[in-house]
Amino acid sequence: MSDLTVSLIQANLHWEDKAANLAMFDAKIDGIKERTEVIILPEMFSTGFSMQPERLAETMDGQAVTWMKQKAKEKNAIIMGSLIIEEGGQYLNRLIWMQPNGVYGTYDKRHLFAFADEHNHYTPGDKRLIAQVKGWKINLAVCYDLRFPVWARNVINGDGAPEYDLLINVANWPERRNVHWKTLLHARAIENQCYVIGVNRVGNDGNNIYHSGDSSLIDPLGEIVYRKEHDEDVFTYTLSRQHLDEVRGRLPFLKDADKFMIL
């Protein structure tokens, strides 16, 4: 299987200003000069983490989704991030995995952040999404999901292979709990023997809550490949399939894991 090149975009989001955020990400994506295959944006990248879905939600043919489709085609790369979607009279914090051909997958955030009243404004999802590209299996998650290891637990499939190779979490995780963010990203990589990517925002949101970013890329041994604090940044890196396979072959810990099913 091939290596996979990813780009992490850590940005200071414009509060509840979709046009400004799309213009900002346009410029940041256009500035990526290396060949990249997956571009990762933060949680609610078009608005910030807002509890105003009635005013800000769009449908799956709305402005930000259409922008993702056009930008993925233009860049010939997958673009992913979450945004506020209205569907069937419900509001969803939906992560979209947009491919260059316009075909997309979706994951609706399972664990809603009741501490910020998210559960009273949004409907939780009930299904994981494990996307695939170039032979890589990628488990997609949103922010608060990171606190719940059962939801992220890697298992050995019937063919003897792990269920996924890379966990990506997109977030608006505040600085006041950044020790939790960094520790949990680290733990998910070690316990699941996978690469882990966390993409967070920086700066103050509309509630004057500061975000230090700390977007990270961690390898299957728990080594920190990349971490950026406080500043906006775009980081491109090629994940090594050989390194992943060597770690799992030398330390076959997943085979000894407890057996369970998520029902």
Rounded to whole angstroms, what are the CA distances from 257 to 183, 186, 191, 260, 262? Answer: 21, 18, 10, 9, 15
Using CA atoms in the order 172, 178, 184, 189, what is the torsion angle rounded to 10 degrees?
Answer: 80
Q: What's the mean pLDDT in 119-147?
A: 97
Instruction: Note down the domain range covering 91.
Output: 4-256
Q: Within a domain: residue 263?
A: no
User: 259 pLDDT band (50/70/90 cuts)?
Assistant: confident
Helices (H), strands (E): how many in the chain?
A: 6, 13
**Tally of CB atoms within 10 A around 61:** 8
pLDDT of residue 1: 66
Q: Does pLDDT of 261 surpass 90?
A: no
In this structure, what DSSP letter does residue 119 have?
G
Q: How many domains does the chain have?
A: 1
**Residue position matching structure tokens 């799956």:** 60
pLDDT tens digits along 23-62: 999 999 999 999 999 999 999 999 999 999 999 999 999 9
Does a structural domain hold residue 183? yes
pLDDT at 107: 98
Domain assignment of residue 112, yes or no: yes
> pLDDT grade, residue 258 (50/70/90)?
confident
Question: Does residue 106 belong to any structural domain of this protein?
Answer: yes
CATH number at residue 222: 3.60.110.10
With beta carbons less than 8 A apart as the criterion, state whether 163 and 154 touch: yes
Q: Which residues are catalytic?
A: 43, 109, 143
Pairwise CA distance, residues 180 & 185, whole Å: 8
What is the rounded CA–CA span in Å between residue 192 and residue 154? 5
User: Can you give the pLDDT at residue 184?
Assistant: 98
Mean pLDDT of all residues in 238-254: 95
Residue 157 has pLDDT above 90, yes or no: no
Give domain status of residue 108, yes or no. Answer: yes
Spatial CA neighbour of 95 closest among 141, 26, 155: 141
Cα 25 to Cα 37: distance, rounded to the nearest angstrom: 16
Question: Which residue's entry shows tokens 């695939």?
Answer: 132
pLDDT, residue 173, reads: 98
List C-alpha distances in Å: 250 to 159, 161, 244, 246: 19, 15, 10, 6
Q: If we measure between CA atoms, which residue out of 6, 16, 36 comes closest to residue 84?
A: 16
Rg (CA), the chain: 17
Q: What is the pLDDT of residue 260?
A: 74
- Candidates 123, 162, 122; CA nearest to 139 is 162
- Dihedral sign, Cα of residue 108, residue 22, residue 75, residue 33: negative
Inter-CA distances, 259 with 153, 155, 175, 248, Å: 11, 8, 35, 18
Q: Is residue 262 part of a domain?
A: no
Q: What is the pTM of this model?
A: 0.97
Q: Which amino acid is at 102?
A: G
